[in-house]
């Protein structure tokens, strides 16, 4: 449910969530994406890639589970258990897209079309079409980027953001840095870095200087946490935020 509401300077957000002891901000992994470098210039590791793909799969699990729950019981009996089913379709789709990438997508046939022709590992029930279609879209969107980033020669130090005068006071408060397409307020088509910070005296003073939640730039999408539990989520560009405790969504209304 969305509500229009006047919000909320940073100080008001912090006052609303006094139990918060951490916060996060998100910024781009690579600012060098352009016509000359459509996949940027910075390298990721195989471990990064595996984790990123596992996140993208995990965020899809609610969709798969809801679809699976519509299957007839007799259909379920002819399939592996749910988690094994999803993993098998994921790997089949991944291998299919990887083969297409190696061939520059020449003569590429979407795997959901192969499903319709009963040329996939699983061909029934018909709801499995959506499993194949979802993974095809997911891997076609992200895997090509990942494959290119694995081959790049330049390493990026994720602490380099703290060399900027604007963010130098946050360096000592940073407790984790995570490469991801998925975070609390969105799924992006650009790889980003989720920085998590302890909310201490110095980092709180930095936040209060920012004043407007939606005035953040470079590092954006402020979220507040109590340990690992998220309390507050915002999306800078969409000018929306969520009180996770009450599951209420709000859209920002200008004065």
Q: What is the pLDDT of residue 106?
A: 80
- Residue 139 and residue 93 in contact, taking contact as beta carbons nearer than 8 Å: yes
φ and ψ of 159, to 5 deg? -80, -5
7 to 16, 19, 24, 219, 221: CA distances (angstroms):
11, 19, 19, 20, 15
User: pTM score, two decimals?
Assistant: 0.84
What is the predicted pLDDT for the residue at 59? 86
Does residue 25 contact residue 221 with C-beta atoms inside 8 Å?
Answer: yes
Q: Residue 9, preceding bond cis, omega within 30 degrees?
A: no
Per-residue pLDDT at 167: 97
Given this model, what pLDDT does residue 100 score?
86
Average pLDDT per block of 10 residues along the chain, 255 residues long: 58 95 98 93 97 89 91 96 96 91 82 94 95 91 92 96 96 98 93 98 96 91 97 93 83 54
pLDDT at residue number 1:
43
Given this model, what pLDDT does residue 246 score? 86
Give the residue carrying structure tokens 């729950």: 69
């Amino acid at each position: 449910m969305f509500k229009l509401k006047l919000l909320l300077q940073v100080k008001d957000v912090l006052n609303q969530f006094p139990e918060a002891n951490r916060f996060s901000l998100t910024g781009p992994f690579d600012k060098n994406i352009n016509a000359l470098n459509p996949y940027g210039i910075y390298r990721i590791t195989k471990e990064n890639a595996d984790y990123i793909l596992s996140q993208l799969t995990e965020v899809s699990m609610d969709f798969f589970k809801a679809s699976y729950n519509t299957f007839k019981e007799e259909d379920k009996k002819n399939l592996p258990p749910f988690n094994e089913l999803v993993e098998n379709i994921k790997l089949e789709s991944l291998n299919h897209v990887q083969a297409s990438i190696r061939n520059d997508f020449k003569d590429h046939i979407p795997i959901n079309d192969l499903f319709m022709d009963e040329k996939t590992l699983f061909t029934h029930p018909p709801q499995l079409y959506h499993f194949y279609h979802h993974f095809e879209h997911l891997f076609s969107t992200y895997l090509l980027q990942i494959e290119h980033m694995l081959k790049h020669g330049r390493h990026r130090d994720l602490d380099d953001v703290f060399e900027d005068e604007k963010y130098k006071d946050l360096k000592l408060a940073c407790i984790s840095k995570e490469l991801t397409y998925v975070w609390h307020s969105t799924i992006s088509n650009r790889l980003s870095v989720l920085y998590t910070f302890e909310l201490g005296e110095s980092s709180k003073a930095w936040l209060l200087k920012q004043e407007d939640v939606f005035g953040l730039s470079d590092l954006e999408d402020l979220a507040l946490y109590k340990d690992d539990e998220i309390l507050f989520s915002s999306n800078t560009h969409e000018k929306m935020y969520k009180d996770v405790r009450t599951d209420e969504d709000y859209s920002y209304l200008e004065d």
